[in-house]
Amino acid sequence: MNVIKEEIEKIKLSLEFVKKNSELKLKDISVDDFEAQCNDLFDSIDKIDDIELELFDLKKKRDKLLAETSSVSSRIRKLVAGYYGEDSKEIKELGLKAKSDYKKPSKSKKRVEEDAK
């Protein structure tokens, strides 16, 4: 159980206790005011729970749409590469590197010296 839920349980128990034992009083807050605060807290928690559930559903929908649209986007990039070529300006328009932009592997200085021997 997380800290917030534990604290809420303590608050509920405290509220029930002071309602049953009216002889216990605090100087700075009445039982009615404490109960009103608790009810406001519980209403806020319920609203937060509802919003979190709605947010969960929206994130689930977003993830599904992201996967679907990402797949289509990938297919479009492959189509452009196949149709226009891997060195075309269209590839660059899609934010991809043209094949000719990749650095060709070069021999290291050590390997060049070994090949010369």
Q: Alpha-carbon distance 107 to 42, whole Å? A: 70
d(CA 113, CA 117): 7
pLDDT computed for residue 94 by the predictor: 85
Give 100 or 34, the one with higher predicted confidence: 34
Cut 0.85: pTM above it: no
Write down the pLDDT at residue 97: 78
Q: Is the pLDDT of residue 105 over 60?
A: yes
Dihedral sign for Cα 69, 75, 79, 81, please: positive
pLDDT at 102: 75
Which residue did the predictor score with more confidence, 90 or 102?
A: 90
What helix, strand, coil percent values describe the chain, rounded to 5? 75, 0, 25
Residue 1 has pLDDT above 60, yes or no: no
Highest average pLDDT, of 49-53, 90-94, 108-112, comes from: 49-53
> Residue 77: CB partners within 8 Å, gap ≥ 6?
94, 96
Q: Count CB-CB contacts under 10 A for residue 51.
A: 10
